[in-house]
Amino acid sequence: MIDLLHGQVVHGQAGQRDSYQPIQSVLADSAQPLEICQSLQQHFGFTDLYVADLNALTGGDANAMEIVQLLNTKINIWLDAGTATLAALEKLSCHIPLDMLAHVIVALECCPAPQDLEQVFEVVGPARAVFSLDLKGGQLLVPDTGVETSLWQQMDAIGVASKAVEIGFRKMIVLDVTAVGGGQGVETLSLTKKLAGKFPDLEIISGGGVRSVEDLKALATAGCQYALVASALHDGRINASHLNGE
């Protein structure tokens, strides 16, 4: 996965986005998104890339030029760019060809109310829509939009996930931003295990704080089909031989 901010790949750290700095990677000589993407493809053979556009997630303009460059590499892009309302989805479509995206992430942190979640799902469709169950310090991470937000706040994490599944989502990211970049292990294992037990047909993606292959195995045991990893790849703690079981 990569975090994009002002045209560069940055090192995510506990959700403190104002302090994120350009990534320093053993895989590439710069923090340019295209170079980072190509290095991940070259070193690991990855076919999918989760891209969090932090400018768009905080209400700004998307890093459209950089994202289009990534799309042209033919890697499957899972884009998290604040598209949790119809207005945000329409705004993004003016700059990025949405039909080229493998998946569109609909993030709880940007979603004012369940109604918005349902509306975006209906437009994007079940094959490409992915719900992101966002947490911070174990608590639901929801936008501060006033009265509507209380609809989410009346639910717990399982309740929010249940609503997304009821709407029709088949894939769900479970991510606690506090753990991102910390290298202290994944904090969502208990929750993902509960979700996997409750929704056996749901594809679950998680990460944040991954340190080693052992953490990846723990995610798989907890019911995850995919893992989000960044820091451990860029600082060399996880390399291709680890993933190949060598």
pLDDT at 240: 87
Distance CA 27, CA 125 (A): 35
Report the alpha-carbon distance of residue 207 to residue 198 in Å, rounded. 20
pLDDT < 70: residue spans in the chain:
12-19, 146-149, 245-246
Q: Could you tell me how many helices (H) and strands (E) the chain has, helices first? A: 11, 11
Determine the pLDDT at residue 19: 64
CA terminus-to-terminus distance, the chain: 23
Q: Of 47, 49, 60, 68, whose CA–CA distance to 3 is shortest? A: 49
Task: Domain ranges for the chain, please list them.
Answer: 2-243
CATH 3.40.50.1980 fits 2-243, yes or no: no
3-state SS of the chain: helix, strand, coil percent to 5? 40, 20, 40
**For residues 23 and 9, what is the distance between their CA atoms, to the nearest angstrom?**
6
CA of 85: how far to CAs of 51, 54, 98, 150, 175, in Å?
Answer: 18, 16, 15, 17, 20
Q: Convert the pLDDT of each residue in 138-193 to its tens digit.
A: 999 998 776 655 789 889 999 999 999 999 999 999 999 988 877 778 999 999 99
- Distance of alpha carbon 216 from the chain centroid: 16
The pLDDT of residue 30 is: 95
The predicted structure's pLDDT at residue 243: 83
Which residue(s) pair with 80 in the sheet?
52
Question: What is the pTM assigned to this prediction?
Answer: 0.93
> Would you say 64 and 73 are in contact if contact means Cβ atoms under 8 Å apart?
no
